[in-house]
Structure 1
Amino acid sequence: MEIAPYIAAVLLLVVLLWCVVGVLHEAGHAWAALTLLPGPVTVHLGTYGQPTRNLRFQVGRLQVFVAYTVLLWRGGYCEHQATTAAWRKAAIIVAGPLLPLLLAGGGVAVAFSQSNYPLRALACCLLGLATVGFFFNLVPRTRPILLADGRRIFNDGQQLVNIYRLPELGRRLNAQLQQAEACRVAGNYAESADLYVALLPKVVPTASILQHAYYVLTHAGRYAEALPVSMQYQEEFADQLTDDDQFTHALILSRLGQHAAAIDAYTALIEQPQPYVNAYNNRGYTHNLLGNYALALADFDHAIACEPGQAYAYNNRGLALLKLGQEAAGLADIQHGLALDPANAYGYRNLGIYHLDRGEYAAALHHFEQAQQLDSATHELSTYMQETHQRLAQSTGGSLP
């Protein structure tokens, strides 16, 4: 006798009954919300808000989205917009796992009042799954569920915990936010960045929280973490974007090696009715990174014409001129940039690049070390220093002086 078909049938039945428990669970939330609240209620069955491949229908204040493929269902959730008392929130949450448990218990009572053994087995299976679902949903889990629109929610148990802890949680998060802000204002970007990274998953991000978070992450050199925060800010608060926001976003892209996207972003700032002057310098710097020195030179000319006292533009134009073979003009620009700002690490870095290209490794290393003393986070400085050390070791037979 072939047993495999029977095992497959039983597994299929369990999957379908688990889907029934899920439907009853969301129906419990919806029934309680419709009873206790005045506004609309939305239920998603089979997805966490996937906007496509759904059957949609509405009954009064209830709107339902059902994923087409039942066997591929991956949860569901119920949402409402009303702000209400804590006891109502708790009742709506508990009604979800409680309704399938009560109905399954009633089903067992009905099934055992008859002599239909398959019906009894089916009812017991449903009660078992409803019991598992009850405890599975009411045991708090701190790991959030990611919805299709990017929002995060918690399971029923954790939501109940949050309702209980909300005042204390709010005070603690507010204290952490104040500490993060104090560090940012003091220029302690590394600590501020750590605090913001810890805060972001726990709070509803406002415009200022997102803006300050990607700002400190950028200043701390944590560009890979800054990019998604900056993108979220641009998507959710597009009407509040400033030129500074878009400039910082372009800088993040450039630091992550996304130079084409960075150039597009800088170009958008330049082609405004009122050009953002710093974008000329940074676009030129990005062209330097790509080896497009003639394009870089034109940008630095614009930057200097707009702001003659900008040391960075002179230092960067000097590097472009050096790469184009115009050594006298390039060195003059870098020296003038250092005269304007003697603490500008990029001037010494670019002098180091000049000597490195000429094979003068000791002189290159000297300038790189000067740049490092002024600002160890100077872009690509560590890479140039490593290359110089290697070249110097090779030129001295493997031993450094």
Structure 2
Amino acid sequence: MSALSQKRPDVGADDPEGSERGKTLDELDFWINAVGSPLVVVERRRLVARRGNRAAELMFGIANSAMDGAPLLDFVGPEANQMLGQIWSNAPVGVTGEPFLIRAQVQGHERLLMVQVTKIVVEYEELRLFTWVDAPPTGSVAMAGWQEKIIDMLNWLPFGFEIASNDEQIQFANSQFNVMFGHSQDDISNIDDWFTLSYPDPQYREYARSKWEEELGKARAEDREMTPFDLKVRTASGQDRTIQFRHRTVGSFNVNLYLDVTAERAAARELKRLSETDPLTSVMNRRRFFEQAGKRYAKQSDQPLAILVLDLDEFKSINDRHGHNAGDLVLQEFAARCSDIVGTDGLFARFGGEEFVALVGDTAERSAMQAAEDIRSAIASRPFAIPSGTLTVTVSGGLSYRANGEELSHTILRADEALYAAKRAGRNRICG
């Protein structure tokens, strides 16, 4: 008994067509043998034959009784078999896919064949029907040579390449597409499968789909290439990759390119972080502070914002007496304590040396001056650990509220003047 005759799944369990039974085995045998072209019925999940017609027996030299379970590799050779794995046909049942030319090894001889793939349903099971014919000789041999070279080039490309029909039915995907995403043509039987597998989070899936449809609509309306954009895609292995999407409609086909830019985007983010972060303390640097604080000044023009300039007292003596390593440890711990108090509602940066600056504002919980006092107290009340023991460290600060219409640099200047007043008054204090 053949594997096909044993297949009787429950309706809906492994049945992409719902309750449609499709053809019976007797109907299938009658129908394929009524066709003069060689036909081979293949498993949906694997390139393994189930049965074929009499014309296929003659073409491939394999008896129908021996076809059940035989890999297509035995029919057409390894090179053509690989090509067959790249021909996608996720059109509805009964709709024949685009024809492809393959150069196959048939019964020990090279043979140029044209193959088309059609989905069929037999006894509730979805299968694929491969139709084979010899390529027309007149003028088509040269065309086939070009197609073969083009297919080789597409498989060589270091990015995913896909050809789909206007109704989003995939016709061909190159080798890198399969490597990049890890999905086979059976995993993605329609466009909905792609979005479900690639964007498991429903909210992000909705965003990804609307982004794709929006950019696609603009490109088609203006008859141009789609503006490239990035999306995070979940691969079959469970990895999240950053993929740049590119698209162009060519005639009745959609050409989609997929570039894996995960490493490039990660490197760009790291370079940005390094350009904005103080390497010793990991808080933002002077340039980043001016950028972010300037945005706050513009956006929160009617809210009370204050600039706090801080300077560690007698810091030079720490470096002189205990070494620069100890000084670095003090700066790192100082920045950590201050960052905890400033919190995510404020901004905190190292301006250089032992000088730091913060942007804080009055809140329902505390005023900017109270935040400044909390910082001073947190520094003075708990010793700092260094390799040789502990140190008592203090800090002086100057606080200045933004005046109406005042630029950031002017508020910082007034806070700096208040800092010097705190130093003159004996240190370990906040003036403002």
Same fold flag (TM > 0.5): no
Higher normalized helix content (fraction of residues)? 1
Bigger relative contact order (CA 8 A; separation at least 6):
2
TM range (shorter): under 0.3
TM-score, length of structure 1 as denominator length: 0.26
